[in-house]
Amino acid sequence: MNSLILSTSSRYLLVLLQLFSVFLLLRGHNEPGGGFAGGLVAAAAYALYFIANGVEEARRVFRFEPLTVVVAGLGVALASALPSILGGMEFMRGVWVNTGIPVIGKVGTPLLFDFGVYLLVLGITLKILFSLAGEDEA
Amino acid sequence: MLALLVASFAVSAISPYIYRLLKARFVWFGAAFPLTLLAAFVLRYPQVASGVPVRERWSWAPSLGLDLSFMLDGLSLTFALLVTLIGAAVFLYASVYLRHYEEADRFFGFIGMFMTSMLGVVLADNMLLLFLFWELTSISSFLLIGFNHHEASSRSSALKALLVTGAGGLALLAGMLLLGSVTGSFEISSFYAMNELITSHPHYPAIVALILVGAFTKSAQFPFHFWLPDAMAAPSPVSAYLHSATMVKAGIYLIARFNHEIGGTALWQDSILFTGATTMILAGLLSYRQSDLKRLLAYSTLSVLGTLVMLLGIGSKLAIKAFFIYLIAHSLYKATLFLVAGTLDHEAGTRDVGKLGGLFRAMPVTAVTAVLASFSMMGVIPLIGFIGKETLYKAVLEVHPWGRVLIVLAVAASAFLVVVTLLVGFRPFLGKPRPELAEAHEAPLAMLAGPFILALSGLLLGLFPDFFVGHLLEASSVSILSERLGIEIELWHGFNLVLLLSFVTLLAGVALYFFRPLVLPRIEQLHFPALLKPSVWYEEALAGMLRFAAGLTSFLQNGYLRRYLAVIILSALVPASLMLFRSWRAGGFAVTLPADVSVTAYEAALALIIALATAMLLKSDSRLKAIVSMGVLGFGVGIIYIIYGAPDVALTTFAIETLNVILFVLVLARLPKFTSRSRPSGRLRDGLIAASAGIFMTLTVLQVTSVGRASGLKEFFGRESLPGGHGRNVVNVILVDFRALDTLGEITVLAIAALGVFALLKLRTGKTE
**Are the Cβ atoms of B736 and A32 closer than 8 angstroms?**
no
Preceding amide of B382 cis, omega within 30: yes
Query: Which residues in chain B have Cβ-Cβ distances shorter than 8 Å to A47?
Result: 658-659, 662
- Judge: B727–A41 Cβ closer than 8 Å, yes or no: no
Clarify whether residues B430 and B542 are in a common domain: no
Q: Which amino acid is at A138?
A: A
Residues B369 and B507 in one domain: yes
Peptide bond into A110 cis (omega under 30): no
pLDDT (0 to 100) of residue B676: 65
Nearest alpha-carbon partner for B179 in B205, B215, B145: B205
- With a CB cutoff of 8 Å and minimum separation 6, the contacts of B178 are B203, B206, B207, B210
Residue A19 distance to chain B (closest CA, Å)? 16
Residues of B in contact with A35 (CB under 8 A): 736
* Cβ pair B256, B323 in contact under 8 A: yes
Cβ–Cβ under 8 Å, residues A55 and A130: yes
Nearest to B651 among A32, A66, A91 (CB): A32
Answer whether A44 touches B (CB < 8 Å): yes
A-chain residues near B749 (CB < 8 A): none
Question: Which amino acid is residue B486, in one-letter code?
Answer: G
Q: Do B358 and B475 belong to one domain?
A: yes
Domain ranges across chain A: 4-136
Model pLDDT, residue A82 = 84
Instruction: Identify the weakest region by mean pLDDT among B56-60, B188-192, B495-499, B628-632.
Output: B495-499
Same domain flag for B332 and B476? yes
Tell me: do B180 and B278 sit in the same domain. Answer: no
pLDDT at B136: 93
The answer to whether A108 contacts B726, with C-beta atoms less than 8 Å apart, is: yes
| CB neighbour list of residue B401: distance below 8 Å, 6 or more residues apart | none
How many helical (H) and strand (E) elements, i.e. helices and strands, does chain A have? 6, 2
Report the gap between the CA of A58 and the closest CA in chain B (Å). 15
CB contact under 8 Å between A37 and B655, yes or no, is yes
Tell me which residues of chain A, numbers 51 to 90, contact chain B at a CB-CB cutoff of 8 Å.
51, 66-67, 70-71, 73-74, 77-78, 81
Burial (0-12, 13-18, 19+ Cβ within 10 Å), B567: middle
d(CA B647, CA B640): 10
- For residues B142 and B122, what is the distance between their CA atoms, to the nearest angstrom? 20
Q: Do B729 and A31 touch (CB under 8 A)?
A: yes
Instruction: Tell me what pLDDT residue A137 has.
Output: 44
- Do B141 and B154 have their domain in common? yes
Angle at B370 between CA B365 and CA B371, to 5 degrees: 100
Residue B75's CB: how many other CB atoms inside 10 A? 24
Asked if A127 lies within 8 A of B754 by C-beta distance, the reply is: yes
B102, B87, B97, B89: which is closest to B148 by C-alpha? B102
The DSSP element (H or E) to which B390 belongs, if any, is helix B384-398
pLDDT in tens, B27-42: 888 888 899 999 999 9
CA distance B758 to B769: 16
Residue of A30, A67, A132 with shortest CB distance to B663: A132
**CA separation for the pair B413, B276 (Å, rounded):** 12
Q: Decide if pLDDT at B768 tops 50.
A: no
Rounded Cα distance between B344 and B339, Å, is: 9
pLDDT of residue B122: 92
State how far the Cα of B225 lies from the Cα of B537, in Å rounded to an integer: 12
pLDDT the model gives residue A136: 46
Question: Does the beta-carbon distance from A34 to B735 stay under 8 Å?
Answer: yes
Nearest residue in A to B725, CA atom: A94
Residues of B within 8 A of A95 (CB-CB) are none
Q: How many CB atoms lie under 10 A from the CB of residue B277?
A: 24
Which residues of chain B neighbour A94 with C-beta distances below 8 Å? 725-726, 736-737, 740
Q: How far apart are CA A45 and CA A13, in angstroms?
A: 7
Ramachandran bin of B57, using left for φ above 0, alpha for ψ from -120 to 50, beta for the remaining angles = beta
DSSP B443: P
B304 and B384 housed in the same domain: yes
Residues B646 and B750 in one domain: no
Instruction: Say what percent of chain B tops pLDDT 90.
Output: 15
Q: Is residue B225 part of a domain?
A: no
- Sorting pLDDT into bands at 50, 70 and 90, what band is B608? very high
Tell whether pTM > 0.90. Answer: no
In A4-23, the residues whose Cβ lies within 8 Å of chain B are none
Q: Where are the alpha helices (DSSP H) in B146-247?
A: 152-183, 195-199, 204-218, 227-230, 236-244
pLDDT number for residue B624: 82
- Residue B183 sits at the vertex; the CA angle it makes with B181 and B187, to the nearest 5 degrees, is 100
pLDDT at B309: 92
Q: How far is B102 from chain A (nearest CA, A)?
A: 32
| pLDDT score at B113 | 92
**What percent of the residues of chain A are helix, what percent strand, and what percent coil, each to the nearest 5?**
70, 5, 25
Which chain A residue lies closest to B760 (C-alpha atoms)?
A: A131
How far apart (Å, rounded) are the C-alpha atoms in residues A7 and A1?
9
pLDDT tens per residue, range B703-723: 777 766 667 777 888 888 888
Q: Which residues pair with residue B56 across a beta bridge?
A: B70
Number of structural domains (chain B) is: 5
Which residues in chain A are closer than 8 Å to B731, comparing Cβ atoms? 34
All residues of chain A having their beta carbon less than 8 Å from the beta carbon of residue B750 are 120-121, 124
Least confident residue range of A7-16, B348-357, B367-376: B348-357
Identify the H or E element spanning A96.
strand A96-98
Task: Pick B761's closest partner by Cβ from A37, A121, A135.
Answer: A135
Residue B207 maps to a domain: no
Residues B551 and B570 in one domain: no
Whether B658 sits inside 8 A of A138 (CB atoms) is no
Chain B residues with CB inside 8 Å of A116's CB? 747
Residues of A in contact with B751 (CB under 8 A): 70-71, 73-74, 120, 124
Amino acid letter, residue B536: V
The answer to whether position B20 is within a domain reads yes
pLDDT of residue B475: 77
- Interface check A47 vs B, CB under 8 A: yes
Query: Cβ of A136 under 8 Å from any chain B Cβ?
Result: yes
- How confident is the model at residue B488, as a pLDDT? 67
- Higher pLDDT, residue B666 or B448: B448
| Residue A14 · residue A45 · CB < 8 Å | yes
Q: Which residues of B touch A30 (CB under 8 A)?
A: 727-729
**How far apart are alpha carbons B336 and B86 in whole angstroms?**
9
Please give the torsion angle defined by the CA atoms of residues B355, B361, B363 and B368, in that order, rounded to the nearest 10 degrees: 100
pLDDT of residue A138: 39
Examine the domain organization and report whether B648 and B723 are in the same domain. no
The answer to the question of residue B202 being in a domain is: no
Please state, in angstroms and rounded to a whole number, the distance separating the CA atoms of residues B267 and B203.
13
CA angle B171, B177, B183 (to 5 degrees): 135
Partners of A117 on chain B (C-beta within 8 Å) are 735-736, 743, 747
Tell me: pLDDT of B548 over 90: yes
Binary contact (B655, A44; C-beta < 8 A):
yes
Which residue in chain A is spatially nearest to B766 when comparing CA positions? A135
Interchain CB distance below 8 Å, B761 and A28: no
Span B198-208, average pLDDT: 90
Torsion of CA B366, B368, B369, B373, to 10 degrees: 140
Do B414 and B478 sit in the same domain of this protein?
yes
Cβ–Cβ of A29/B732 closer than 8 Å?
yes
Regarding whether B102 and B247 lie in a shared domain, the answer is yes
ipTM confidence score? 0.87
List CB contacts of B372: < 8 A, sequence separation 6 or more: B336, B383, B455, B456, B458, B459
User: How do residues B234-287 score in pLDDT, each as one tens digit?
Assistant: 888 888 888 887 888 999 999 998 888 888 888 988 899 999 999 999 888 888
In tens, the pLDDT along B730-739 reads 888 888 888 8
Domain coverage including residue B532: 528-557
Q: Do B729 and A32 touch (CB under 8 A)?
A: yes
Task: Pick B652's closest partner by Cβ from A37, A92, A114.
Answer: A37
Q: Treating both helix axes as pointing N-terminal to C-terminal, what angle do B601-619 and B623-643 enclose, rounded to 10 degrees?
A: 160
The answer to whether the CB of B90 falls within 8 A of the CB of B237 is yes
Distance from CA of B742 to the nearest CA of A (A): 11
**Number of neighbours of residue B56 by Cβ within 10 angstroms:** 15
Q: Is residue B217 part of a domain?
A: no
- Per DSSP, the residues of B293-357 read HHHHHHHHHHHHHHHHHHHHHH-SHHHHHHHHHHHHHHHHHHHHHHHHHHHHHHHHS--BTTT--
* C-alpha torsion angle, residues B489, B469, B378, B404 (rounded to 10): 50
Average pLDDT score over chain B = 85
**Tens digit of pLDDT per residue, chain A (138 long)?**
567 888 888 888 899 999 999 888 888 888 888 888 899 999 989 988 888 888 888 888 888 888 899 999 999 988 888 888 887 777 777 777 776 666 666 678 888 888 999 999 999 988 888 887 765 443
Torsional class of B247: left (φ above 0), alpha (ψ -120 to 50), beta (otherwise): left
